Amino acid sequence: MLEVDSELAAKVRQENIRMHNRDSRVYDMRHPYMRDKAFQESFQADLALMDSSLAHLEQVRVLDCGAGTGNLTLKFLDFGWRVTALDISGGMLEVLRAKVSNGGDRLETIEADAEEYLLRQESSFDVVAFGATLHHLPDYVAVLELACKALKPGGLLYITGEPALVEQVGPGEFRLLRLDEYLNVCYKMARRPQHILTVLGKLLNLSRRDEIDESLAEFHVDVGLDQDRCRAILEASGLTLLHFGSFGYFGFRLNRLLARLGRVELRSQFKLLARRD
């Protein structure tokens, strides 16, 4: 895990705010998994397992950390649960609120840093969820420890869409991920020609003073998250692991086809579900 001091942590948070405010209106377009039927159905299977584990509760209270434009929040609302959608980006939460047609009375949105918010939330929620969020945070270990404490007894911790340690990704999947990145750049340049200037600037090692540092906003992506350490934190916090899975995702159908034809083992991302005893 990358070590951070307070100054670097503040920069990581600031670049996340800037990047996600900038991208909030086009976030769903830039992230194909938001529109992919098979990928979204995988979330529904996870939520069905969660729902069966919480069926004895009259009301389920959820904290969606890094809720973004609502990939998980909207599904939680569809289950009839009460959701606190937490995000450091006000722009992302604005897009989320515009999507809510049903269950708005069960939705609370909070613009805040996850670590600071969780410090005040001991034994408060039946579910704490992170959907592609932990890798953006300066200190995901500290946040994960606080999230465990924020659960009520019997509560569930759900993590999905997080990058695995890079050394655990096989060479075949790694090449396809790189191809996916290149195709995504081409796609963005076709849809938004002004993106060409950003790409040229990076190739020529040029940067403007006001340019967003996406390497800070995506702080742990290049290294990945240590799944074993995450599981050790859960165990030390009194949680029992109910499910752990590795998977991978490509934004473009060509790469998915190549992965199937080449029988490439996909393990670049992971998800887990755990219960507080």
Per residue in 43-82, pLDDT (tens digit) is 888 999 999 999 999 999 999 999 999 999 999 999 999 9
DSSP state of 162: E
Is position 106 within any domain? yes
Q: For residue 101, is it within any domain?
A: yes
For the stretch 106-149, pLDDT in tens is 999 999 999 999 999 998 999 999 999 999 999 999 999 999 99
DSSP 58: S
DSSP characters over 183-241 = HHHHHHHHH-TTHHHHHHHHHTT---TT---HHHHTTTTTT-B-HHHHHHHHHHTTEEE
Q: 61 lies in which domain range? A: 6-170+213-276
Domain count for the chain: 1
Residue 190 inside a domain? The answer is: no
Q: Is the pLDDT of residue 187 over 90?
A: no
Would you say residue 175 lies in a domain?
A: no
> Is 272 within a domain?
yes
| Mean pLDDT on 34-39 | 78
**Would 265 be classed as within a structural domain?**
yes
Residue 47 maps to which CATH number? Answer: 3.40.50.150
Q: Looking at the domain assignment, is residue 183 inside a domain?
A: no
Residue 63 and residue 82: Cα distance in Å, rounded? 9
Q: What is the pLDDT of residue 209?
A: 53
CA distance 202 to 187: 17
Secondary structure (3-state) at 274: strand
In a domain, 236, yes or no: yes
